[in-house]
């Protein structure tokens, strides 16, 4: 019987088992990580709005990711034809979009999300890429939470 899982010893989660069918191949790499092409989404805490994009090739590397819609952010953009062809997107239903988050350990309420460079995944064929949006006002560090004003 064929084993459909792999064991990965990660820095953040220890040893985990990943279903091979949940591994995505990046046809265009994440900025700054050109040699790493395979990732899986880890749902470490199921009730959390954040998941982890874990590198299969580098057990030390995992990006926190989230969905902008979870935070009530209206986030819409068009995927350029060239990138849609590279990912072999046939319908919008095939596409999963998430964004890399930055969550400061000293101040989780200061979390931001990179809306300028979303992660696009074709769920049908498991091809993915980080897309750099052009001609947009989206920010690299869009605040997820309103900062409370502590002054009276």
Looking at residue 2, its pLDDT comes to 64
Helix or strand run (H / E) with residue 81: helix 81-87
- State the CATH number of the domain containing residue 120: 2.30.290.10
Question: Any long-range contacts for 43-48 (C-beta under 8 Å, 24+ apart)?
Answer: 44/12, 44/13
Looking at residue 147, its pLDDT comes to 61
Looking at residue 146, its pLDDT comes to 76
For residues 115 and 137, give the distance between their C-alpha atoms in angstroms, rounded to a whole number: 9
Looking at residue 44, its pLDDT comes to 82
pLDDT by residue (tens digit) across 45-103?
A: 888 899 999 999 999 999 999 999 999 999 999 999 999 999 999 999 999 999 999 99
Contact 65, 81 (CB under 8 A): no
- How many beta carbons lie within 10 A of that of residue 40, not counting itself? 21
The answer as to whether 30 is a domain residue is: yes
pLDDT by residue (tens digit) across 107-148?
A: 989 999 999 999 999 999 999 999 999 999 999 999 998 765
Is residue 150 predicted with pLDDT exceeding 60? no
Looking at residue 45, its pLDDT comes to 86
The answer as to whether 108 is a domain residue is: yes
The answer as to whether 150 is a domain residue is: no
Domain residue limits at 63: 5-143
Count: domains in the chain? 1
The answer as to whether 149 is a domain residue is: no
The answer as to whether 19 is a domain residue is: yes
For residues 129 and 122, give the distance between their C-alpha atoms in angstroms, rounded to a whole number: 9
The answer as to whether 138 is a domain residue is: yes
Is residue 152 predicted with pLDDT exceeding 50? no
The answer as to whether 34 is a domain residue is: yes
Is residue 149 predicted with pLDDT exceeding 90? no
The answer as to whether 89 is a domain residue is: yes
């Amino acid at each position: 019987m064929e084993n459909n899982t792999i064991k990965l010893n990660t820095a953040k989660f220890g040893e985990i088992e990943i279903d091979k069918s949940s591994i995505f191949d990046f046809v265009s790499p994440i900025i700054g990580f050109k040699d790493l092409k395979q990732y899986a989404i880890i749902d470490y805490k199921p009730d959390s709005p954040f998941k982890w994009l874990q590198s299969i090739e580098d057990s030390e590397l995992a990006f926190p990711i989230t969905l902008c819609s979870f935070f009530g952010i209206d986030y819409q953009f068009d995927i350029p034809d060239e990138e849609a062809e590279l990912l072999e997107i046939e319908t919008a239903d095939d596409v999963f979009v998430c964004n890399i988050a930055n969550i400061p350990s000293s101040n989780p309420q200061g979390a931001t999300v990179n809306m300028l460079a979303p992660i696009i995944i074709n769920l049908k064929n498991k091809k993915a890429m980080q897309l750099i949006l052009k001609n947009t006002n989206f920010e690299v560090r869009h605040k997820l939470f309103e900062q409370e004003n502590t002054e009276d």
